[in-house]
C-alpha cells in the first residue's frame, strides 16, 4: 500500500514535469501529425479501399516510436543526474524500485495519452466503412506494449549517462536493432547465409514479429510476454545501473 | 541519534573516507570541518544512504542505513551539496512533492508546507519555477525540503553556501534553534560558523578525523591560546622585547608591529605557565605606558591550518620515495 502511494507520488511528479514545459505538447502534436500524414498520404488509406487500420496506420508505429519514445524517456534519469536531484530522490524514504517504476509508469501513461489522441483515425475508418474494431483494439494494445518496451530501454540508457542526447542515441540504436531483426529486407539478407534455425531466433527477437500478431487481432500470450519481458529486463538493468553509480 | 562506526569508502584505489567514527545525540549540533576533498560530502552521502559504505556501519535512530534504509531515511532531512531541486517545478509544487513523499497528506501537508515557507522566507517566490530562482532562494528551497517533515536528524552539506550575509545569519539562527531538539550534522569551511552554531566540531582531513571537541577545546590546541598581546607606547621594541623575554614564565616574545612610537608584542608562556602571565607582564612593564593588554583565546583558523597542513607535510617524503 505504502509502496503504491510512493510510486503514485513519483508518477504524478513526472507527469507534471512533462506538462510543465511545452515539450509534451510538441511531442503529441508531432506524433499526431506523423500518424495522420503517414496513414492518409503515404500509407494509402483511401486508395486501399478497405476498412482496416492495420497496414496504413499501425505498420508505421515501430518506426515512429523509434524516434519519439527515446525522446520521451531520455530525460528521466539523465536530467536527475545532471541537476543532482538524484541525490534527493534516493535519500527519500522510498526504494529505488519505486522510483524506477514510478518514472516508467509516468512516461508510459504519457505515451498512452498520445496514442489515445489518434482516435480520429478510428472514427474516420468507422465512418467510412465497418472495420473490425476488435482488431483495432488489439492493435492499440500491441502498440502501447511496444511503446512500453522501447520506453523501458530508454529508461535504462537514460540512467547510463547525464547527457540526454547520448541516452537518446543509445536507445535509438538498441530499438533500431529490435526492429531491423524482423524487418523483411534484413531477414532476406540473413536467410541467404544463415541456417533457418538461426533466422528464426533472430526474428523472434524483433518487435515487428511480435507486433504483427496484435495487428491481426490475435492476442497471443507469447507476444504479450515478449514485450513485458523486455520491459522487465530493461527496468532491471536500470536498477543495476543506478546501484552501480551509487557504489561509485 | 546518529551512530557512525569505522565508516570507510574507497573509489577505486582512492580512500575517500578512512575509518570515521563518531556519534551525535539529540540536542547536539556537530560541525563537520575540513579542507575541500577531505571526505565531508562522501561521509554525509553515506550517512544519508545515497551511496553505500565500503565498510563500517551507520545507524540513525537505531536503524542501520544499509540494512534498514527506509525507516532510517524517514528520520533524516538532507540538504545535499549545491542544493539541488527539480527545476521544472514551482517552489510550492516542489515542497508539496517533498511533503507527499514523506508521507504527509491533506491538511498536515498544507501545514508542513506553510511552516517551512515561513521559516525559510519563501513566500515571495512560492509560485515561481525553481529554474528562475536566484541562488539564495534555490538554496533555501532545498533547505525547506529537508525540514519539511520536522525530522529528528538533519544532515546539511554546506547549508550557508552561496547566501548573502543576512541570509547566512538567518540560516545559522535557524540551525541553532533546531539544534535544541534535533541531532544535526552540518559541514562548512567557514570557521566563524563553527563558533556561531556548533556545540561540537570534528575536523576531517583526507578521510580521517584529526580533531574532535567543542570549539573552545579546539581553540585550546592553538599555540596562540594563552599568549598575551601587549601594546606599549614610548619605548623601543627591542628593549621591551628583551625585558619581557626575561620574565621567568615566558618562553619567548616577538614583535608584531612597531610604528609611530608604539610597539605591539606577542608573548608566549612556557608550558603550564599561562595563568598569571598577563599580570607578570603588566608588572614587568611598569614605567612604560601600556595601551593594550589581553590574553588570546586561540584561533580556530590557525588550529585548522596547523592540523590539516602538518599532515600534508608529513606525507610528502613518503611520496618522494616512490
Nearest to B11 among A20, A92, A248 (CB): A248
Helices A164-180 and A133-160 pack at an angle, to 10 degrees, of 140
Report pLDDT digits (tens) over A174-233. Answer: 999 888 887 888 888 888 888 888 888 888 888 888 898 888 888 889 999 999 999 999
Nearest CA in chain A to B74: A93
- Do B52 and A10 lie within an 8 Å CB cutoff? no
Q: Where in chain B is the domain with CATH 3.40.50.300?
A: 2-220
CATH architecture of the domain B2-220 equals: 3-Layer(aba) Sandwich (3.40)
Cell numbers for A49, please give them.
479501399
With b for 16 or more beta-carbon neighbours within 10 A and e for fewer, the A48-86 pattern comes to: eeeebbbebbbbbbbebbbebbbbbbbbbbbbbbebbbb
Chain B residues in contact with A88 by the CB 8 A cut-off are 78, 80, 84-85, 142, 145
CA dist A187 and A45 (Å) reads: 27
Q: What class, spelled out in words, does domain B228-295 have in CATH?
A: alpha beta
Inter-chain contact A94–B101, Cβ cutoff 8 Å? yes
Phi-psi region of A197 (alpha: psi -120 to 50; beta: other; left: phi over 0): alpha
Q: Which of A110, A115, A149, A134 lies closest to A52, judged by CA?
A: A134
Q: Answer for the pair B210, B180: CB distance below 8 angstroms, yes or no.
A: no
Distances (CA, A) of B119 to A231, B88, B115: 44, 23, 6
Is this prediction's ipTM beyond 0.90?
Answer: no
Nearest to A77 by CA among A67, A86, A68: A86
Helices (H) and strands (E) in chain B, counts: 11, 14
Residue A20: Cβ within 10 Å count: 17
Cβ of A91 within 8 Å of Cβ of B145? The answer is no
Chain B residues closer than 8 Å to A87 by CB: 45, 50, 78, 80, 84
Please state the φ and ψ torsions of residue B128, each to the nearest 5 degrees. Answer: -90, 150
Q: What is the per-residue pLDDT across A71-129, written as a single tens digit (0 to 9) for each?
A: 999 999 999 999 999 999 999 999 999 999 999 999 999 999 999 999 998 898 888 88
All CATH 3.30.70.3100 domain ranges of chain B, comma separated, are 228-295
Residue B108: CB atoms within 10 Å: 12
Query: How confident is the model over B24-52, as pLDDT tens digits?
Result: 999 999 998 888 888 889 999 999 999 99
Is A20 in Cβ contact with B74 (below 8 Å)? no
Q: How far apart are CA A94 and CA A10, in angstroms?
A: 10
Q: Which residues contact B284 (CB under 8 A, 6 or more apart)?
A: B243, B244, B246, B247
Q: What is the pLDDT of residue B35?
A: 84
- CB-nearest partner of A87 from B80, B98, B102: B80
Prediction pTM value: 0.85
Which DSSP helix (H) or strand (E) runs through B136? helix B135-146
Nearest neighbour of A13 by CB, restricted to B11, B70, B97: B97
For chain A, which residues make up each domain, given as ranges?
2-247
Cell numbers of B72, please?
A: 532510517
- Chain B nearest C-alpha distance from A112 (Å): 22
pLDDT tens digits, one per residue of B164-221: 888 888 888 888 888 889 999 999 878 778 888 888 989 888 888 888 888 777 777 7
Amino acid at each position: 500500500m505504502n509502496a503504491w502511494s510512493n510510486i503514485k507520488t513519483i508518477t504524478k511528479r513526472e507527469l507534471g514535469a512533462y506538462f510543465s514545459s511545452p515539450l509534451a505538447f510538441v511531442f503529441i502534436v508531432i506524433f499526431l501529425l506523423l500518424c495522420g500524414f503517414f496513414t492518409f498520404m503515404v500509407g494509402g488509406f483511401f486508395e486501399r479501399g478497405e476498412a482496416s487500420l492495420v497496414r496504413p496506420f499501425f505498420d508505421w508505429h515501430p518506426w515512429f516510436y523509434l524516434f519519439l519514445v527515446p525522446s520521451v524517456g531520455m530525460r528521466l534519469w539523465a536530467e536527475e543526474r545532471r541537476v543532482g536531484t538524484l541525490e534527493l530522490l534516493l535519500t527519500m524514504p522510498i526504494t529505488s524500485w519505486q522510483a524506477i517504476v514510478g518514472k516508467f509508469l509516468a512516461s508510459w501513461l504519457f505515451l498512452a495519452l498520445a496514442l489515445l489522441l489518434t482516435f480520429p483515425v478510428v472514427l474516420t475508418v468507422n465512418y467510412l466503412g465497418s472495420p473490425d474494431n476488435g482488431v483495432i483494439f488489439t492493435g492499440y494494445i500491441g502498440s502501447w506494449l511496444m511503446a512500453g518496451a522501447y520506453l523501458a530501454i530508454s529508461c535504462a540508457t537514460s540512467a547510463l549517462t547525464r547527457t540526454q542526447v547520448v541516452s537518446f542515441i543509445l536507445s535509438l540504436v538498441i530499438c533500431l536493432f529490435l526492429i531491423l531483426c524482423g524487418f523483411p529486407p534484413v531477414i532476406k539478407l540473413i536467410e541467404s547465409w544463415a541456417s533457418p534455425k538461426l533466422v528464426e531466433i533472430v526474428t523472434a527477437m524483433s518487435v515487428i514479429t511480435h507486433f504483427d500478431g496484435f495487428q491481426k487481432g490475435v492476442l497471443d500470450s507469447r507476444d504479450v510476454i515478449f514485450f513485458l519481458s523486455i520491459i522487465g529486463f530493461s527496468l532491471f538493468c536500470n536498477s543495476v545501473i543506478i546501484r552501480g553509480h551509487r557504489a561509485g | 541519534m546518529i551512530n557512525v562506526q569505522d565508516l570507510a569508502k574507497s573509489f577505486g584505489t582512492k580512500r575517500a573516507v578512512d575509518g570515521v567514527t563518531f556519534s551525535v545525540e539529540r540536542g547536539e549540533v556537530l560541525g563537520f570541518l575540513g579542507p575541500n576533498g577531505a571526505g565531508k560530502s562522501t561521509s554525509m552521502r553515506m550517512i544519508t544512504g545515497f551511496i553505500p559504505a565500503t565498510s563500517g556501519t551507520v545507524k540513525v535512530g537505531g536503524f542501520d542505513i544499509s540494512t534498514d534504509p527506509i525507516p532510517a531515511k524517514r528520520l533524516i532531512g538532507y540538504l545535499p551539496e549545491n542544493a539541488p531541486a527539480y527545476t521544472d517545478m514551482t517552489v510550492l509544487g516542489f515542497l508539496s512533492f517533498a511533503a507527499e513523499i514523506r508521507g504527509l497528506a491533506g491538511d498536515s501537508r498544507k501545514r508542513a508546507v506553510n511552516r517551512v515557507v515561513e521559516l525559510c522566507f519563501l513566500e515571495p517566490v512560492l509560485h515561481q519555477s525553481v529554474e528562475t530562482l536566484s541562488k539564495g532562494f534555490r538554496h533555501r528551497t532545498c533547505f525547506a525540503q529537508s525540514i519539511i517533515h520536522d525530522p529528528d536528524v538533519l544532515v546539511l552539506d554546506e547549508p550557508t553556501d552561496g547566501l548573502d550575509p543576512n541570509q547566512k545569519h538567518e540560516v545559522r539562527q535557524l540551525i541553532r534553534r533546531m539544534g535544541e531538539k534535533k541531532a544535526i550534522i552540518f559541514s562548512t569551511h567557514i570557521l566563524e560558523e563553527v563558533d556561531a552554531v556548533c556545540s561540537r566540531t570534528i575536523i576531517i582531513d583526507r578521510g580521517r578525523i584529526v580533531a574532535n571537541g567543542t570549539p573552545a577545546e579546539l581553540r585550546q590546541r592553538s599555540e596562540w591560546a594563552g599568549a598575551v598581546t601587549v601594546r606599549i607606547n614610548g619605548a623601543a621594541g627591542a628593549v621591551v622585547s628583551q625585558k619581557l623575554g626575561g620574565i621567568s614564565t615566558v618562553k619567548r616574545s616577538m614583535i608584531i608591529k612597531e610604528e609611530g612610537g608604539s610597539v605591539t608584542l606577542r608573548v608566549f608562556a612556557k608550558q603550564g605557565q599561562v595563568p598569571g602571565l598577563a599580570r607578570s607582564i603588566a608588572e614587568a612593564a611598569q614605567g612604560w605606558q601600556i595601551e593594550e593588554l589581553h590574553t588570546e583565546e586561540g584561533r580556530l583558523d590557525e588550529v585548522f591550518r596547523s592540523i590539516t597542513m602538518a599532515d600534508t607535510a608529513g606525507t610528502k617524503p613518503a611520496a618522494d620515495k616512490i
